[in-house]
Amino acid sequence: MKNVMLGGTGLSVSPMTLGTWGIGGAGWDDYPDDVRMDAIAAAVESGINFIDTAPAYNAGEAERFIGKTLEQTGNRGKVVIATKCGNRFIDGKYVRSGKPENIFAECEDSLKNLRTDHIDVMLVHWPDPTVPFSETFGALSQLKAEGKIRHVGVSNFSREQIMEARKTIEIEVVQLQYSMFNRENEELLKWAHGEGIGTMAYGALCGGLLTGRYRKVETYEPADSRNRFYGRFFQEPFFSKAMEMLDAMQPIADRHGADLAEVALNWARQKEFVDTCIVGAQKRSRVEANVKGYAWQLAESELSELETAMQRILC
């Protein structure tokens, strides 16, 4: 993989970022600890130098797996780490807090979990409407001045919220959900890219739905990410449309000897306004399969073919 520049940060990152929500464990399929750590090692070995995580990913478990793996392999200096603040996973619930004292505490916890002396990119996970942005981002400004974090960004913020945050500190990175099945943030990503803000697209496989693994509506536990976070996509009326779209994607996958996930990932990463796609994987084989998908690209005619199908089926 050829690295790209993450907006104006000066960071050279892989166009695929390893997502670690699943590696954290909560709300996803369960794997042994050594398998999860091996997935992280495999990502670095495969050329992925950008890892995305958060303290909310199973109460810091994802961060701890990353920290332990990078320490054991001696690869901390080879990777860029993005973690988050302002959102914690407590007793099975996500709790937002943009209060300065919480931002400071989360940063210290993340540094300890990740076994590092600095965080490359710190993102506010979700906006907290109960705390003035001047306080939340003022705390991040202090942490940056202390050298504990290098770059500041936001996740799941609107354009208006980003503009408000910029009154206190430069917002250098934005992370938003974006996939063939969810294009709600497309205009915001375009705007951010035009502003020189680094763009990270998460959910490029829509919780796994774009892999073709799921072919019938199923019932998931309330805490399962396919219910709590991606629920509307895994249920009717959207699910039937998703299946029709997967059928439209299959001929393109067949032409390239690829799977549906590769088509979906290439569609997202070939957008000029997307710097890197966050792709989750909990085991080595999945990491290697994802990286393999970046060895080819969709032709312009195929992008047009997909666009026509999306307009017909999903709109």
pLDDT per residue as tens digits for the range 78-113: 999 999 999 987 777 788 999 999 999 999 999 999
57 is catalytic: yes
Q: Is 10 exposed, middle or buried (CB count within 10 Å of its CB: 0-12, 13-18, 19+)?
A: exposed
Residue type, 219: T
Give me 165's structure tokens.
């945050």
Residues 265 and 17: beta-carbon distance below 8 Å:
no
- Domain map (residue ranges) of the chain: 4-210+262-297
Q: Does CATH number 3.20.20.100 belong to domain 4-210+262-297?
A: yes
DSSP structural state of residue 182? B
pLDDT beyond 90 at 222: no
> What pLDDT band is residue 26 in, cutting at 50, 70 and 90?
low
Which phi-psi region, left, alpha or beta, contains residue 27 (left: φ > 0; alpha: ψ -120 to 50)? left
pLDDT tens sequence across 139-196: 999 999 999 999 999 999 999 999 999 999 999 999 999 999 999 999 999 999 999 9
pLDDT beyond 80 at 35: yes
Q: Is 1 exposed, middle or buried (CB count within 10 Å of its CB: 0-12, 13-18, 19+)?
A: middle
pLDDT at residue 135 in the model: 98
pLDDT tens sequence across 278-309: 999 999 999 999 999 999 999 999 999 999 99
Greatest pairwise CA separation for the chain in angstroms? 54
Residues 8 and 198: beta-carbon distance below 8 Å:
yes
pLDDT tens sequence across 245-272: 999 999 999 999 999 999 999 999 999 9
Mean pLDDT for the chain overall: 95
Catalytic residue among 31, 57, 220, 230: 57
